[in-house]
Structure 1
Amino acid sequence: MKRCVMIGLVAFIMLTGFRRANAQQNEIAQLLLNVEKLNQFKQILKDMQEGYRIVSTGYNAIKDISQGNFSLHKTFLDGLLEVSPAVKNYKRIAEIINMQKVLVGEYKTAFMRFKSSGNFTTAELNYLFNVYDNLLDQSARDLEELVMIVTAGELRMSDDERLTAIDNLFVSLQDKLSFLRSFNNSTAILSLSRSKEHRSINTIQKLYGVGSP
């Protein structure tokens, strides 16, 4: 998946070239991260982490991508108290929650940095946004799955099955975070390359008076 997306990004950028779009305000607004949605997601992760501190596990949330709505489930904490200590105190739960927070923070920071760099066209920024938004969608589904695994009564599973499922979620999130960092690194290298090219062009123009009256 990682290779396909990276190749897609390179191919897309080669097709669009180095054109700079003078986007209208409404176009830029469409590319901005949904700040309210993101803040809600971050708050949910914070609540999950706090819940874990209180009862050795966390709160949970289910994200409705189409509506952009978030719903905290009080029953998660209540159900969690009913599962066995082996599941309730499993360290991977806290690690999954923390990785979710890291993922959200890193992708938001990266997107805003690329947007403000001036090195990408509106179409390219839209592509980046779609990659990040899809990653957030998948990440939210992982949270939903975590809820079902660690909440008593949601699934008929033995402790060993629950722990194995949690381990699988942990690996899945590791893969997502690894992909995000690789994607951000490749995009940052491209941005740096374009910045150097722009500086070289500006230096040549100043040296030879190109564009001067």
Structure 2
Amino acid sequence: MRSIKKYGYCLCVLALVCCSSLSRAQTFAEWFKQTSTQKKYLLQQIAALQVYTGFLEKGYTIAKSGLGTIKDITSGEFDLHSLYISSLKRVNPVIRNDKRVDRILSMQTELLKRFNELDGLDVLPADNKSYIGSVKQTITDLCRKDLDELELVIISGKLEMTDDERLERLGKVYESTLDKYAFTQQFTAGVTLLVIQVRQQQSDTQNVRRYYENN
């Protein structure tokens, strides 16, 4: 009974973590306002792809456009910094040295990696796994949109904008990425805690069963 209470408490913690983080971003809030039918449809659309798949496809697109070259491929992951920073002849000079570009890439790499490295989900109920998968897919899609916007902002000739306008839009992409990064840290930590609690509950149940079988 005590372990079950722990499990219930952990579910509440995860729910609170999700709600408190998602309320900070309009895009997240809008997603949670969807009807059950819309959510079911979203879940049906989740492909059995790794979280980096879309990211890598975006990398190929950027490489073909001449924005950068791919210098390193490790375990299926592009060196995103090389992709954006090398051969940046077409990048607006005002944006070229802005540290927020590098920070955006670092945060996106880290937050996607956190989702990709979640372990032990097999012990969770199916509805929990589906929920986690849908959140991962939502974050991945939003990251793609941020990359699309970043590409428009930093490449000269993509859009007619003044330098101030480019910097303003870069700031919005940065804030958007920062918000998703903070959410992902809290969400994945909550999932990890939930997995630990479920495993403990299962272990306690097995110990009780063995005790009664041997006595």
**1:202, 1:94 → 2: CA distance?**
49
Give 1:157's match in structure 2, choosing from 161, 164, 179: 161
Shift of 1:119: 2.1
When residues 167 and 31 of structure 1 are mapped into structure 2, their CA distance, relative to the original with a 3 A threshold, is closer
What does residue 107 of structure 2 align with? 99
Identity of aligned pairs, percent? 22
Shift of 1:153: 2.0
Q: Are residues 1:175 and 2:179 paired?
A: yes
Q: Are residues 1:34 and 2:49 paired?
A: yes
State the SS of the aligned residue for 1:153. Answer: coil
User: Do the aligned residues in 2 keep the contact of 1:6 with 1:183 (CA within 8 Å)?
Assistant: no
Q: Are residues 1:195 and 2:199 paired?
A: yes
User: Do the aligned residues in 1 keep the contact of 2:107 with 2:177 (CA within 8 Å)?
Assistant: yes
> Gaps (5+ residues) in structure 1?
8-29, 56-76
Shift of 1:79: 3.3
State the SS of the aligned residue for 2:123. Answer: coil
**CA root-mean-square deviation:** 3.0
How many residue pairs match? The answer is: 160
Report which structure shows greater RCO (CA 8 Å, sep ≥6). Answer: 2
Residue 190 of structure 1 aligns with an amino acid whose one-letter code is L
**2:84, 2:212 → 1: CA distance?**
64
**1:189, 1:162 → 2: CA distance?**
41
Residue 150 of structure 1 aligns with an amino acid whose one-letter code is I
What does residue 208 of structure 2 align with? 204
**2:52, 2:83 → 1: CA distance?**
20
When residues 181 and 139 of structure 1 are mapped into structure 2, their CA distance, relative to the original with a 3 A threshold, is same
What does residue 10 of structure 1 align with? none
Residue 3 of structure 1 aligns with an amino acid whose one-letter code is C
When residues 138 and 6 of structure 1 are mapped into structure 2, their CA distance, relative to the original with a 3 A threshold, is closer
What does residue 147 of structure 2 align with? 143
What does residue 3 of structure 1 align with? 19
* TM score, norm. by length of structure 2: 0.64
When residues 135 and 174 of structure 1 are mapped into structure 2, their CA distance, relative to the original with a 3 A threshold, is same
When residues 149 and 6 of structure 1 are mapped into structure 2, their CA distance, relative to the original with a 3 A threshold, is closer
Q: Are residues 1:131 and 2:139 paired?
A: no
* TM score, norm. by length of structure 1: 0.64
